[in-house]
A = this chain, B = another copy of it.
């Protein structure tokens, strides 16, 4: 098992994936370094890849309707996070900006490699897609709850007038 495969083995994302499949993925990934303060992905950009954060801290930012960026979350490599899955799956635009808060190392998974992997190892592809779908469902439930809270605040604000 090469060094990248050993790193991936520690990720919950790959917990149901065998060593052969993990090596196949690992051989197709490049380690990319992002210096602190640099932009890893930009909201609105076209994209077809996801990232695996293997070192450092990242900020997840969104833009308000007035053009201001606000911080949604800070993610640490020790929590074994992945990001950008949505654009890899639907090949639509990035839904958030990700900036390196510290010097970061990431692995980029391109859609063509992911789809190639699913063709060769479909059972492992099912496992990865289930995790991606579960993560998306969690984000969707969070967004529903955020929408409910902001909606409630809006109604209270209107009634106060």
Q: Which residues of A contact B (CB under 8 A)?
A: 62, 64-66, 86, 89-90, 92, 95, 118-119, 122-123, 125-126, 129-130, 132-134, 136-141, 143-144, 146-155, 157-158, 160-161
Contact = CB atoms under 8 A, between A and B. Distances in A.
Contacts of A86: 137, 140-141
B126 A136 contact: no
- How many chain copies? 2
B152 A65 contact: yes
Majority SS of interface residues in chain A? helix
Given A65-B149, A65-B151, A139-B140, A129 B122 contact: no
Contacts of A123: 119, 122
A137 B65 contact: no
25 contacts: A64-B148, A64-B155, A65-B155, A66-B152, A86-B137, A86-B141, A89-B133, A89-B137, A90-B133, A90-B138, A95-B141, A122-B122, A125-B126, A126-B129, A129-B129, A129-B133, A136-B136, A136-B140, A139-B140, A143-B144, A150-B150, A150-B151, A150-B154, A154-B157, A157-B158
